[in-house]
Structure 1
Amino acid sequence: MSYHHLTLSERKKLSLMWREKKNIRQIAMTLKRSPSTVSRELKRNISHDRDRLVYRPVSANRKYQRRKRQERKGKYQNVRLCEYVQEKLLLTWSPEQVSNRVGQDYPAEPLMRISHTTIYRWLHKERFAQSASIHLRHEGRQHGERRGKLLGIRTLKQRGREIWRRERIGDWELDTIISSSKQSQAGILTMCDRKSRFCILVLLERCHSQSHVF
């Protein structure tokens, strides 16, 4: 039995069976859904029409889409979640790794949950460029990720002492994260100011090689 949200097609079938006076278990069996999923759907969307109860599938689907948009917006307004995601990405974690780990780190906090598709969507819209500055942890990169190389960029060892000491704003570190998956050509460009620690993450849809990524 599936516990995912119903599709519009399933809601239309549910509406028809509801009008035929089928009970919740019969509806669930036909839709191959759990009875609790059907029960929850009806409780959320049953309305009164004069002297009878009605279920309108199109209206129910519209309400679900609206809730989904609000949940996405709410996640981005969750500062702790945004900072957690950004911190892990800067440690070269993939969006899939971040999504899998956040629930383990915050098991008792349902608001600290995010899918890897939402992270990719944030990156595509450059939402992290609007985030407040964060403090980075200098740890080794995670196994399974590859770093790219930006051609024509000087390394830190080739720069002045004031850059090493983080004495001024405007000295940026650039790096790339390239997925180890052969099915993905995507990557992430990270740009971090060494003094303020303000960071910008940009999704690169196609990374052809480790030496030509931007």
Structure 2
Amino acid sequence: MRTRSYRHRSAEERDTLSLGLAHGHSLRAMAAVLRRAPSTVSRELARNAMRAPYRACTAQTRATARARQPRRPRKLRDPWLWPHVRTQWAEGGSPEQIAGRLNRAYPHNMAKQLSAETIDGGLYVLPRGALKSELLAALRQARKARRPRSRGTDRRGQIPNMTSIAERPAEVVTRTVPGHWEGDLIKGARNGSAVGTLVERTTRLVLLARMDGTDATSVRAGFTKKLRHVPALLRKTLTYDRGKEMAEHEQLAQRLAIQIVFADPYSPWQRGTNENTKGRLRQYLPKGTDLSGYTPRTLNAIAHRLNPRPRKCLDFATPLEVYAQLRHYSPVARGT
């Protein structure tokens, strides 16, 4: 099978072309000498000859200067598309989410579809300035490498009457049945404050619970106050790690009529949805800050930044859209 490979014009080819044209040879004759298509030679003249006769040194200088210029992908020059991408990025959307949502919203309009790579490339070829700094600041996580999740005192300890994750219903793994949650804490400065995170495995809906402290009683009260707004049919199990803050899990399970199971030690992948969500939340709850100052209203607003975002795992529907299909009216979706 014959394949084509594109080659840029070299300085030697430009010397040959300049000499041949100066001796009166036609464009097609020079194309045959260079073993190039006549259209290629024609474009070379249009780009680099300008109004003066074609000169190899001038053409090479212009071609080199053009090659050094960063190029914004052509689709991002669209007067509607690029402002739309900028708005979505500034609101916290990732390139993959923005691209997936566009493809979902305009399945038959290629002019309004983009790949995640095009969006990502469009950001990094922007010239330096306030706009580029603003968009870079909207990136999810500033750090480049994963660091230890907790520091200071040991979070683990012996919890009485734990139910192992091995005893969790099989339907939890398939994510086909809603009502199964993953929970954890995001710790503040010096582990002195915390915010509770709850993620529903099927819809990926995020709830944030304010905690008065990091002790077991505060955690039980915080999760109880948040989960009691969730309908009983959507409140079946809660998977947690073996942190000592869950020592009062039996009271929590009895109050909410929910089964609480515990992941194996040092196995964060068994609660991968929650771990991934915590990484997204660090954009709004930075490490080293005092989380006790975040009010329930503020935490609801942060959760509402995540829940309307399209998710690839939901075919670029949003958690709120999927949740609305499961429940016609939900105070949780309204951020209570």
TM over 0.5: no
Q: Which is richer in strand?
A: 1
TM-score (norm 1): 0.43
- Looking at secondary structure, tell me which structure has more helix per residue: 2
TM-score normalised according to structure 2 size: 0.30
Instruction: Please identify the structure whose Cα radius of gyration is greater.
Output: 2
